[in-house]
């Protein structure tokens, strides 16, 4: 049976026609109203602009021209107009089109791009005002509405503030148009300078207006890490953790050296140039918890910041550094240094990173980069544990499928033997899922990567390879912020790296010849949370006469100080020696008495010791150890100022001490802090008397303040220096003033007392105390002398020798 034809009413035709016209007009208006975009490239005649940025802007024009926006491109620099125009014209000569574009179309587009590009000298406030008038003059005759402006800062960071001030005062677009400011690294030299630069920029621009470029985030293999993890959640959920991952390697090797760039390199070095930014960003993408939506910029940032909070603090022993042999000579030549000058700037670094969370606990993350190495290559490699045991011989293993073969996942950033970006997944892991913009490839026969033939991987490469800057410029144009560094992200990264950089400031890097001649000289190993070179350095590579003696040239010094044994060394060796001595004392106490009672001081000096005990002393009898505090500030135990909080952050969360064996001082009772009527000191004294035989600790760790105080026993204050009280409330000259402390009589009951003194600022008090007698009211530290135990002083060379 046929359906009856629908009977259209004439009025309905009219309504439909009007609706279609309105919709079509709306579409046309929407396209028209997208308006004009002005792109201003500052530093338009520099190396980065010539190599990447002009080509990236041309690619942006090819992709977006005719899609609703009109464009103008403004090259700017300090150079005078005529010379600047010539330099810019020369840079634009090398523009190229995609391979699949007809030569005639390419020539046409290049001509259009050149006509839209002009040069400006931007040196004074008046120059910026003239630029603004020029942009507005382009809009008015054509009746164009301004959509927005992009300012790309391809200039040194010291110029940022002046440029930002001029843009903010003279070159902001009018109401309804957006402003996007693109900033190139380096973003500071350490945490403090990064913070200062961020504060300065925030006074001119809003956070959403700033796009900090790390061009590695535009590289196709790096940009694929989060989407790959998201698209393969089902396969990776059970594998992406400490139970299955053996280690993670994040590598960027270069064959070129720093010649021609030594002024930059002397200030920054390889860690600031590569590890703090490029490799750290890759680390976060690999190790962060996967948000529900990887396309949510806010969620990704939130998870990145959580990862930074979980990163274990870096120590000097977390890194090995090197420098190619010709570097110092290049610096002397380029920077006019004296012939005797030897640079300490590293051109090679390997760093061991640990993530202290449930997913990654114990998994080593190796970050490594260097110049003048044997190959140019970059990758992030996740090596999985091989827990299979194959009974049959290797000749019977299924090709590429056997569980006894290596299992790895590699985000191959580029160059090297493969030559292009790729994602490699061992065939004995799983078949991955990738977007249609990636294709499966076979590669040249016989090619081996990471110890396996390429045929043993599922290998994928982009259908169309694109330059990182072209991708990032497209994201900036479209207002996508997922490939850029926020202020929070930046400061978190500098907060992580700055302590290591400070500890390496005076370390002599290992010299290496460069290229294939390096051999195994830079190979390194990791053990007990530390990195070290596998080979001893040959004598001929050591700097000649005139080079400064370094910490590694000295051995631990044994002597006497105030009639008691003194151990002195450079800080790292000293901490290692003290940790070893504490472990030996603990093992002996547990062997004889079944338990070990250790009282620890707070402050900054013991932090390195806590970290050493946590990461390098697996034989420590933590299960039989009782931990006590020597002193405590009268703040809640969760307060960052709390000594217990420092102990928790740097030691307790990394070792397994029974809950009942941890004894924080009761400074916070009845919702009050150190109130006399709460009897907190008496409670702690009673707990000590109950659990510690004869109230005699096996070991007490003390420090010495610059005023001669120890524990929280201060000069000119008799509290706690004598009498029967075991624990006392005292007053500090610095905030927070109220403290709780073990008394001097209780400290002197200990079987062993170790006094740790570190840093140049302790040199003066060290000399002074060496000459004074027993005068605890003036110098409380002078009253430390165990009745029947041993006192040992541990001083680093800075404190002992100055």
Q: Which residues are catalytic?
A: 278
CA distances (Å), origin 532, targets 516, 538, 552: 21, 15, 12
> Helix, strand, coil shares of the chain as percentages rounded to 5?
40, 20, 40
Whole-angstrom distance, CA of residue 44 vs CA of residue 75: 5
Structure-token pair, residue 471: 């991708």
State yes or no: cis peptide before 186, omega within 30 of 0. Answer: yes
Dihedral, CA atoms, 674, 676, 680, 681, nearest 10 degrees? Answer: 100
Q: What is the largest CA-CA distance in the chain?
A: 118
CA distances from residue 626 to 55, 598, 744 in whole angstroms, order as listed: 65, 6, 20
CB-CB neighbours of 333 under 10 Å: 12
In terms of Cβ atoms closer than 10 Å to its own Cβ (0-12, 13-18, 19+), residue 322 is: buried
DSSP secondary structure letter of residue 213 = E
User: How far is residue 298's CA from residue 296's CA, in Å, rounded to a whole number?
Assistant: 5
Helix axes 606-616, 571-593, angle to 10 degrees: 60
Q: Residue 665 phi/psi, 5° resolution?
A: -75, 135
With residue 381 as reference, give the H or E element that holds it: strand 377-384
CB 353 within 8 A of CB 229: no
Residue 15 CA, distance from chain mean position: 62
Q: Which strands make up the sheet holding 178-184, listed edge to edge?
A: 117-121, 70-77, 36-42, 146-153, 178-184, 210-213, 484-485
Instruction: Look at residue 638 and give its three-state secondary structure.
Output: coil
Phi and psi at 245, nearest 5°, equal -90, 125
């Amino acid at each position: 049976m046929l359906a009856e034809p629908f009977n259209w009413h004439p009025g309905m035709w009219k309504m439909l026609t009007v609706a279609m016209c309105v919709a079509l007009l709306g579409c046309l208006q929407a396209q028209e109203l997208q308006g004009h975009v002005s792109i201003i490239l500052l530093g338009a005649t520099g190396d980065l602009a010539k190599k990447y940025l002009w080509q990236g802007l041309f690619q942006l024009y090819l992709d977006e021209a005719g899609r609703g926006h009109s464009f103008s491109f403004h090259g700017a620099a300090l150079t005078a107009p005529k010379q600047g125009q010539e330099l810019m014209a020369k840079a634009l000569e090398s523009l190229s089109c995609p391979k699949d574009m007809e030569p005639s179309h390419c020539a046409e587009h290049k001509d259009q791009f050149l006509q839209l590009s002009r040069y400006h000298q931007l040196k004074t406030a008046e120059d910026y005002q003239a630029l603004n008038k020029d942009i507005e003059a382009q809009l008015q005759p054509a009746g164009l509405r301004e959509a927005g402006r992009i300012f790309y800062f391809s200039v040194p960071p010291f110029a940022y503030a002046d440029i930002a001030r001029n843009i903010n005062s003279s070159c902001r677009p009018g109401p309804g148009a957006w402003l996007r400011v693109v900033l190139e690294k380096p973003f500071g030299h350490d945490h403090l300078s990064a913070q200062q630069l961020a504060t300065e920029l925030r006074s001119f621009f809003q956070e959403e207006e700033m796009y900090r470029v790390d061009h590695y985030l535009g590289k196709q293999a790096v940009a694929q890490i989060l989407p790959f993890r998201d698209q393969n959640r089902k396969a990776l959920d059970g594998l992406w953790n400490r139970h299955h991952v053996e280690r993670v390697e994040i590598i960027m090797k270069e064959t070129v050296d720093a010649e021609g760039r030594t002024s930059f390199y002397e200030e920054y070095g390889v860690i600031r140039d590569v590890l703090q930014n490029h490799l750290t960003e890759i680390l976060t993408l690999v190790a962060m918890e996967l948000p529900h939506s990887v396309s949510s910029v806010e969620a990704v940032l939130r998870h990145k910041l959580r990862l930074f909070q979980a990163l274990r603090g870096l120590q000097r022993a977390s890194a090995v550094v090197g420098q190619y042999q010709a570097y110092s000579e290049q610096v002397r030549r380029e920077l006019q240094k004296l012939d005797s000058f030897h640079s300490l700037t590293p051109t090679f670094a390997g760093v061991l990173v640990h993530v202290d969370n449930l997913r990654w606990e114990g998994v080593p993350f190796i970050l490594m980069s260097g110049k003048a190495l044997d190959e140019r290559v970059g990758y992030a490699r996740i090596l999985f544990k091989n827990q299979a045991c194959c009974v049959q011989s290797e000749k019977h293993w299924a090709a590429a499928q056997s569980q006894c073969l290596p299992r790895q996942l590699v985000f191959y950033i580029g160059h090297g033997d493969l030559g292009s970006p790729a994602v490699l997944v061992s065939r004995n892991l799983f078949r991955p899922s990738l977007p249609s913009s990636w294709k499966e490839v076979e590669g040249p026969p016989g090619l081996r990567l990471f110890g396996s033939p390429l045929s043993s991987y599922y290998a994928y490469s982009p259908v169309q390879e694109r330059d990182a800057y072209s991708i990032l410029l497209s994201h900036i144009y479209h207002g996508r912020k997922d490939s850029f560094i926020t202020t929070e992200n930046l400061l978190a990264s500098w907060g992580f790296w700055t302590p290591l950089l400070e500890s390496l400031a005076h370390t002599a890097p290992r010299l290496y010849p460069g290229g294939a001649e390096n051999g195994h000289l830079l190979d390194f190993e990791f053990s007990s949370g530390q990195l070290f070179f596998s080979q001893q350095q040959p004598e001929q590579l050591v700097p000649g006469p005139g080079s400064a003696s370094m910490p590694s040239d000295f051995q631990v010094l044994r002597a006497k100080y105030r009639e008691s044994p003194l151990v002195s060394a450079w800080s790292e060796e000293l901490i290692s020696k003290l940790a070893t001595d504490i472990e030996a004392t603990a093992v002996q106490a547990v062997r004889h008495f079944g338990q070990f009672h250790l009282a620890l001081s707070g402050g900054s000096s013991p932090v390195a010791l806590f970290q050493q005990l946590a990461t390098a002393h697996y034989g420590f009898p933590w299960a039989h150890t009782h931990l006590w505090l020597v002193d405590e500030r009268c703040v809640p135990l969760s307060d960052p100022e709390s000594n217990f909080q420092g102990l928790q952050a740097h030691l307790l969360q990394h070792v397994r001490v029974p809950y009942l064996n941890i004894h924080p001082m009761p400074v916070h009772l009845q919702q009050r802090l150190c109130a006399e009527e709460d009897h907190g000191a008496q409670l702690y004294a009673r707990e000590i008397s109950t659990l510690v035989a004869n109230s005699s600790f096996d070991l007490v760790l003390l420090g010495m303040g610059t005023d001669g105080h120890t524990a929280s026993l201060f000069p000119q204050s008799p509290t706690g220096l004598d009498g029967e009280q075991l624990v006392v409330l005292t007053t500090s000259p610095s905030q927070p003033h109220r403290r709780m402390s073990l008394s001097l009589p209780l400290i002197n009951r200990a079987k062993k007392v170790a006094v740790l003194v570190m840093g140049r600022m302790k040199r003066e008090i060290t000399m002074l105390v060496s000459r004074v007698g027993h005068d605890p009211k003036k110098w409380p530290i002078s009253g430390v002398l165990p009745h029947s135990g041993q006192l040992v002083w541990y001083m680093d060379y800075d404190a002992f020798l100055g």
